[in-house]
């Protein structure tokens, strides 16, 4: 399945409230300016149907963004960028969420960036990839004797332990990141970034929500204006 096919399949899942794979944040009335990290084609915004809010979708998948702009550009403002270097000034979002994208990023750096762009009253909502999920993929790679996939899955397994015990991640040979995430370790990382967090189980998904614990001095990066 290509990346765009994946995002369109995710759109069907997100639109079906009875699908056990569906997991989305419940939007609060005060959350008017929202950022989706790893938005794909914007399927989450489409499924949540929030026309009265400013919806900003960020991804690195050019094909998915192009599809989103063509079909949902009236609902979502799309931007191609790396989540580890968010092109926004401090304190401009009420909600930042990420359904499945965070495991494919440099997690510690992304947490710091999310903290920077959140308003003091904002909220961060995201799901994690478990070690068990990664192990299932690892065993599948072993069964199919796919050497490249097997190497990558071993890398991901080791990276998850680095994140759990040391709070760091290493890039893969091509410069990308992937890891599994232990919820307890994620909460410790969030605490270091001045968040207060909680973990809930939604079906098979571990969902972490975090709110800032104190105000931070704005540090304008000069990258972009806040979303209008």
Specify the pTM. Answer: 0.89
Which tens digit of pLDDT belongs to each residue from 10-52? 888 877 888 887 889 999 999 999 999 999 999 999 988 887 8
How far, in Å, are 7, 34, 76 from residue 70 at the CA level? 14, 20, 11
Average pLDDT of the chain is 90
State the virtual CA torsion across 87, 25, 104, 220 in degrees, nearest 10: 20
Which tens digit of pLDDT belongs to each residue from 143-195? 999 999 999 999 999 999 999 999 999 999 999 999 999 999 999 999 999 99
C-alpha span between 207 and 23 (Å, rounded): 9
Task: Judge whether 195 lies within some domain.
Answer: yes
CATH number at residue 116: 3.40.50.150
Q: What is the CA radius of gyration of the chain?
A: 17
Q: Which residue has 């478990």 as its token pair? A: 130
More confident residue, 20 or 125: 125
pLDDT at 193 (0 to 100): 95
Task: Judge whether 111 lies within some domain.
Answer: yes
For residue 86, give its domain range. 3-12+28-128+182-212
Total structural domains in the chain?
1
Task: Judge whether 156 lies within some domain.
Answer: no
C-alpha span between 107 and 209 (Å, rounded): 15
Which tens digit of pLDDT belongs to each residue from 192-227? 999 999 999 887 789 999 999 975 544 433 344 545
Task: Judge whether 194 lies within some domain.
Answer: yes
């Amino acid at each position: 399945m290509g990346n765009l096919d994946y995002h369109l399949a995710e759109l069907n899942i997100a639109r079906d409230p009875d699908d056990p794979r569906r997991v989305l944040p419940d939007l609060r009335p005060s959350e008017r300016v929202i950022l989706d990290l790893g938005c794909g084609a914007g399927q989450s915004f489409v499924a949540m149907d929030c026309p009265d809010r400013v919806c900003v979708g960020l991804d690195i998948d050019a094909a998915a963004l192009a599809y989103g702009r063509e079909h949902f550009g009236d609902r979502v403002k799309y931007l191609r960028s790396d989540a580890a270097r968010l092109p926004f000034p401090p304190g401009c979002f009420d909600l930042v969420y990420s359904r499945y994208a965070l495991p494919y990023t440099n997690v510690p750096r992304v947490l710091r960036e999310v903290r920077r762009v959140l308003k003091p009253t904002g909220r961060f909502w995201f799901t994690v990839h478990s070690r068990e999920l990664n192990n299932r993929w690892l065993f599948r790679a072993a069964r199919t004797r796919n050497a490249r996939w097997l190497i990558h899955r071993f890398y991901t397994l080791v990276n998850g332990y680095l994140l759990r015990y040391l709070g760091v991640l290493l890039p893969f040979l091509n410069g990308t990141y992937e890891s599994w995430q232990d919820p307890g370790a994620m909460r410790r990382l969030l605490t270091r970034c001045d968040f207060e967090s909680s973990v809930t189980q939604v079906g098979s998904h571990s969902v972490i929500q975090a709110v800032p614990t104190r105000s931070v001095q704005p540090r304008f990066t000069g990258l972009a204006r806040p979303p209008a």
